[in-house]
Amino acid sequence: MKKLLLATLCLFSITLFAQEETEETTKSNIQTYTPSKLLKKGQWDIKWFNNFYTETEDTFTSGKQPRSNFYTSTFEIFTGVSENSRVNIGVVFNVKSTTESSLTSNEGWFSTLSLGNETGVSRSGLTSIAPSISFQPFKNVGNFSIRSSIIIPLVSNEKENGVFLDKKSWIWENKFFYDYTFESGKWQIFTELDTQLHFGESYSEDSNGTSTGGFANNSLGLPISAFLSYFPSSKFTIFGQTQQYFLIDLGNNFSQEYTQLGIGAKYQLTTALNIETSYTNFVRGTDTGLGQTFNVGLRALF
């Protein structure tokens, strides 16, 4: 009887230890599936990311300006198509909304959610779609991947009656993703380098504030981003982020650059669903707005 009791206690201890070890080593999607990590064949990754940008200052003029608000709702749908998890295909599309304040009106930060189209005040609509392919170029480097997209503009005019909505540029975009998790598993660094070749009709604007062509056409955009994440648990992370952006003139007689800094957090709600929120501030720049953003997104991976 004593031997049976001892054996039962040993078995219980081993089982409990195994459960604790599994819980400790099991990683959530927010730890495992950074943009660097590609999907297995048949997996799906669906993201809905909402960016609210507002500004009352820019580097073109001095002092406070009437508030401008820009909302971007980005939808990404990707799936794995290769047996070795090295190729994904998908599509990205953007819905945008803009509101402009004046000397007699003050449009609030979230006024863009009305998705209005009022002459000289607001514009909204589906503005671009981007067929995309992601691939892992090196078989033995699973934490490095590239996404190549062709961004197709759907706006008729960038500006109408002084209200900007989105770029009227065809863009060949390539994103280079890399992440590294430190041995403790508590810290992770993620980096991203983008190349964005804009092309299309040269920009012009009439006296009514309505444009033709694209302000960024015949230029190269180079955003460089880095994120440092800390995981208090496998289901929760807080992170700091920074981005330096350059728009390089390739013949359109316009260039700009800016730096933004931010903080954020992610939480794994269920096995498949996680939520993200962040705040960023444009701390400096040349020929650009100096605003701030609030962001919130949902991601389902199954």
Q: Where are the domains of the chain?
A: 2-301
% of residues, the chain, pLDDT over 90: 80
Query: What is the token pair recorded at 12?
Result: 């219980």
- List phi, psi (to 5°) of 169: -130, 135
Is residue 301 classed as helix, strand or coil in its secondary structure? strand
Contacts of 210 (CB under 8 A, 6+ apart): 157, 159, 160, 161
**69 in Cβ contact with 42 (< 8 Å):** no
Rounded Cα distance, 74 and 93, in Å: 6
pLDDT, position 103: 66
Is residue 13 classed as helix, strand or coil in its secondary structure? helix
Q: What is the mean pLDDT of residues 121-149?
A: 96
| CATH class (in words) of the domain with range 2-301 | mainly beta
- β partners of residue 173: 149, 196
pLDDT band at 122 (very low <50, low <70, confident <90, very high): very high
Q: Is residue 44's pLDDT more than 50? A: yes
**21 in Cβ contact with 129 (< 8 Å):** no
pLDDT band at 2 (very low <50, low <70, confident <90, very high): very low
Rounded Cα distance, 292 and 280, in Å: 6
Length of the chain: 302
Q: Is residue 22's pLDDT more than 70? A: no
Rounded Cα distance, 33 and 181, in Å: 12
Q: How many CB atoms lie within 10 A of CB 110?
A: 13
Residue 43 CA: distances (Å) to CA of 49, 82, 270: 20, 10, 16
Per residue in 216-245, pLDDT (tens digit) is 999 999 999 999 999 999 999 999 999 999
